[in-house]
Amino acid sequence: MRTTVGIIGAGPAGLLLARLLHRAGIDSVVLESRDRSYVEQRQRAGILEQGTVDVLRAAGAGERMEREGLRHDGIELRYDRKRHRVDFPALTGGRSVMVYAQTEVCKDLIALQLKEGGPLLFEAEALAVEGADGDSPSIRFRHEGREDVLECAYVVGCDGFWGVSRKAIPEALTRVFERTYPFGWLGILADVPPSHDELVYARHDRGFALLSMRSPSVSRLYLQVPEGTDAQSWGDERIWDELERRFETDDDWRLQRGPITQKSVTPMRSYVHEPMRHGRLFLAGDAAHIVPPTGAKGLNLAVGDVVTFARALTHEKETGSTELLDTYSETCLARVWQAERFSYDMTTLLHRAPDATPFEDRLQVARLERIASSEAAETDLAEGYTGFPFA
Ligand code: RFL
Ligand code: PHB
């Protein structure tokens, strides 16, 4: 099998890249190790930045998002039993975000790809990327019990943090920057209308809590828990009791409870792999970088990477110049590091480390008070949350 761009992974990065290339008249093949329903059901991100929304619309993939997505003009910060709303459009010259789940983005892109795009093979596991530093890289993969080779002009590794593509970059050329956090998020889905019409990020002495949503009738909530916590060790009532305590306010706000339909724990990590390119192999999305979910940046970074790659390859096709492909890694990393910084700041602002001292507790509250009382500080948060511009 032969194609121009071999794409490993059908998460948001791989699927959107295939769509962008298709619109630019460049052929591709997507190899995905899992089956379709697994990819469509995997609960993850919920927040799309304005720039991501614009890209999906321009790619002709925004129709259902337009109808079912919820535009959000702010978030609430909660601390010391107080509430502070951050008004995005007022602080950023009109920017907002969209609540539209990653599962739905993936469903929309898969349907479009199968209808209009090039091959998208499920249960096709890439085993290795070969010849990345030569002129004709290839992907060795297993599909329907057989091993096969996909010959490509370019390979884009969109295979997430646990994928194989990153391994094809020689260690001697690589630098990894990493930080793990001594806590995780216990996430639940519940069949109950969200108790607030915007997301609530709460700092509490017992730990962080987040109220989010999937639709007007489905809530998505998270609790900071110790690293290594087993989700099943938390009973439903205990989860609701703990959420209630961490969201407590002095006014009459109440948390609505409902049946919990899903429970899982996510570890928290910051990770950057440099460079993001080696010869004709390019890394995009979680394959190259991870952020803790507090800033809602992971999916949006993946979108920035694939937009950058699609633009660079289109430029090469139209002008013969490889200049944008050659600067892919630097271009992406500049935005990646801004998102790393923002996600780290949000995480350390709102989570309570197991060894936190009373001094650090006071500093966190002082940082929150600063955001609530200084338009400059609040604008910095609003600009970061609604998204750094694509290059
Ligand atoms: P993905 O989504 O991990 O997709 C990678 C795909 O590659 C496949 N794969 C392979 N295929 C073939 N051969 C192989 N050898 C393969 N190895 C792996 C996998 O099966 C998979 O289908 O990476 P991608 O596309 O880079 O997308 C990244 C995002 O998924 C991720 O950054 C976000 O989900 C992070 N994230 C959030 N991001 C946001 O922008 N906003 C949010 O609100 C947000 N909330 C979150 C999050 C992530 C979370 N978890 C579970 C980590 C909340 C949570 C709880
Ligand atoms: C989500 O809805 O899953 C979500 C929202 C905001 C975040 C992280 C996750 O910061």
Tens-level pLDDT at each residue, the chain (391 residues): 999 999 999 999 999 999 999 999 999 999 999 999 999 999 888 899 999 999 999 999 999 999 999 999 999 999 999 999 999 999 999 999 999 999 999 999 999 999 999 999 999 999 999 999 999 999 999 999 999 999 999 999 999 999 999 999 999 999 999 999 999 999 999 999 999 999 999 999 999 999 999 999 999 999 999 999 999 999 999 999 999 999 999 999 999 999 999 999 999 999 999 999 999 999 999 999 999 999 999 999 999 999 999 999 999 999 999 999 999 999 999 999 999 999 999 999 999 999 999 999 999 999 999 999 999 999 999 999 999 888 7
Angle at which helices 358-373 and 328-350 cross, to 10°: 110
Q: What angle is formed at CA 195 by the lines to CA 386 and CA 70, rounded to 5 degrees?
A: 40
- The closest residue, in CA terms, to atom 26 on ligand 1 is 285
Query: Structural domain tally of the chain?
Result: 2
The pTM of the full predicted model, rounded to 2 decimals, is 0.96
Ligand 1: centre distance to CA 159 (Å): 8
Q: Which of 52, 299, 335, 343 to mutate to test the pocket of ligand 1 (most atoms within 8 A of CB)?
A: 299
Handedness of CA 114, 117, 121, 122 (dihedral sign): negative
Pair 35, 184 in one domain: no
Handedness of CA 98, 99, 100, 103 (dihedral sign): positive
Domain extent, residue 195, equals 179-268+355-386
Pair 150, 173 in one domain: yes
Q: Which of 185, 199, 213, 224 to mutate to test the pocket of ligand 2 (most atoms within 8 A of CB)?
A: 199
Pair 15, 28 in one domain: yes
- Residue 87 in any domain: the answer is no
Pair 238, 261 in one domain: yes
Pair 125, 258 in one domain: no
Pair 131, 238 in one domain: no
Residues 6 or more apart whose CB falls under 8 angstroms from that of 183 comprise 207, 224, 225, 226, 227, 268, 351, 353, 354
* The predicted structure's pLDDT at residue 43: 84
- Residue 80 in any domain: the answer is no
Relative to the CA of 9, which ligand 1 atom is closest?
7
Pair 167, 59 in one domain: yes
* The predicted structure's pLDDT at residue 315: 98
Q: Is the CB of 31 under 6 A from ligand 1?
A: yes
Pair 145, 234 in one domain: no
**What is the DSSP track for 83-139?**
EEEEEHHHHHTS--EEE--HHHHHHHHHHHHHHHSS-EETTEEEEEEE-TTSSS-EE
Ligand 2: centre distance to CA 46 (Å): 5
- Count other Cβ atoms within 10 Å, centred on residue 368: 21
- Please confirm, yes or no, whether 297 is among the known catalytic residues: yes
Pair 53, 195 in one domain: no
Locate the DSSP E strands across the chain: 2-8, 28-31, 47-49, 70-72, 74-79, 82-87, 97-99, 120-121, 124-130, 138-143, 146-157, 175-190, 199-202, 209-215, 218-226, 260-274, 277-278, 281-283, 289-290
> Torsion over CA of 171, 34, 31 and 120, rounded to 10 degrees?
-160
C-alpha Rg value of the chain to the nearest Å: 21
Pair 134, 188 in one domain: no
Please report which helix (H) or strand (E) contains residue 350, including its range.
helix 328-350
Pair 213, 359 in one domain: yes
CATH number of the domain enclosing 102: 3.50.50.60
Structure tokens given for 356: 């936190």
* The predicted structure's pLDDT at residue 78: 98
Relative to the CA of 346, which ligand 2 atom is closest?
10
Distance between CA atoms of 164 and 264, rounded to whole angstroms?
25
Pair 156, 238 in one domain: no
